[in-house]
Amino acid sequence: MNTFQQRLISGTVIGAVALALSACTSNTGEALGTQAESAATSGGSTPDGSHPVNPQLDCPGGEICMKAPTEGVQLQTVGGVIESGQDVEFCEVVELPGGSDVVYNVNEFEVAMTTYSHHLIVVAALPGSATDAAIKAGDKTKCFTPDVFGGDIMGVTGSQKPYHREVFPDGVGKVFHGGQKLIFDYHYFNPSSAPIQARGAVNFHTVGAEHVKRTAHSFGFYNFAIKTPPHATQSFDASCGFSRDVLVQKLTRHTHQWGRDFDVSFSGGQKNGEHIWTSPSYEETEYVFEEPVLMPKGTGFAFTCEFENTTDVPLKFGISAKDEMCILFGTWFTPTVGDESEPDQRCDSF
């Protein structure tokens, strides 16, 4: 077990990573620089099944073309230059404007990134915590996970697509305050022959407090046992359950470029074994239920990751663009308003 796996299991970063990568697909250029071709459909499905227009599609390299929201705020990283061949991850602190009396009731996020991003994970430092006291806006360091400044964090949003829109059902969302510090964890792999500009942005769309009565949470079901021999195709099964009753809004697969079919079915309860969704590639990442589905305590999801290893070395679970992952993420909230117990829903298979 490596250090990254140990930190995930400890619960330090799993919730943050799960929420932030709940819109994942690989967009690093690791698939021969196919970001531009796939960008048109990389916005993710909205609850009504539609696909928003991707403002990054025709955006000049190194720029953010996503407009700020009419109601809410846009935050951007300062970013930096990624040299040719560089595979690097940074964590940068950004602060929400206003004093602590300014409340942001958020029911939608939009994420935009420049070319050759692998992911953008956004977490918030818990106000008054040791992590909050240790950081200030503008702090930036190399990192592997967003807890580099401390573990007192909560997941906000994120993506591995150049553009993604995340919309919660009415009554569900997240609440932030002015002056709250956010950590933007951005990972870039530059396969091109020229330097690139790394930069990310997030739109916080706000609504009245009456529209955010329940908090959107995330679960992460991880399968670390996915070692695939060179030039082989292999599938790996895992099954995980919830430790409390939850309502699940959507499911998201996360693999890298060697991921092929990703199957999900119900595990336990009256729907045990019922097929939900098959994603045929790492570019098709998200399944939104027509209505949030109630998952009683002890029930969960079974998932299968298939990999086609076209390389000369074994594929294993890891955090670089040359590794693979097998993760089922999802968004959930409580069936009862006011019951926010057991927010950390995670599971690890080896």
Q: How far apart are CA 246 and CA 29, in angstroms?
A: 36
18-213 against 217-349: fold identical: yes
Asked whether the beta carbons of 158 and 121 are under 8 A apart, the reply is yes
Confidence of residue 52 (pLDDT cuts 50, 70, 90): low
pTM exceeds 0.85, yes or no: no
- Report domain 18-213's class: mainly beta
Tokens of 9: 């299991």
pLDDT of residue 285: 85
Q: What is the spatial distance between Cα 214 and Cα 216, in angstroms, rounded to a whole number?
A: 7
Could you report the per-residue pLDDT of 113-134, keeping only the tens digit for each? Answer: 999 998 899 999 999 999 999 9
Q: What six digits make up the tokens of 222? A: 């991880």
pLDDT at 3: 44
Domain 217-349, CATH number (from 2.60.120.230, 3.40.50.720, 3.40.50.2300, 3.90.320.10): 2.60.120.230
Q: In degrees rounded to 5, what are phi and psi of residue 34?
A: -90, 15
Contact 276, 287 (CB under 8 A): yes
Any idea of the CA torsion for 208, 209, 215, 216, to the nearest 10 degrees? 0
Bridge partners for 141 per DSSP: 91
212 vs 171: CA distance, rounded Å: 4
pLDDT digits (tens, 9 = 90+) for 222-276: 999 999 999 999 999 999 999 999 999 999 999 989 999 999 999 999 999 999 9
Task: Delimit the domains of the chain by residue range.
Answer: 18-213, 217-349
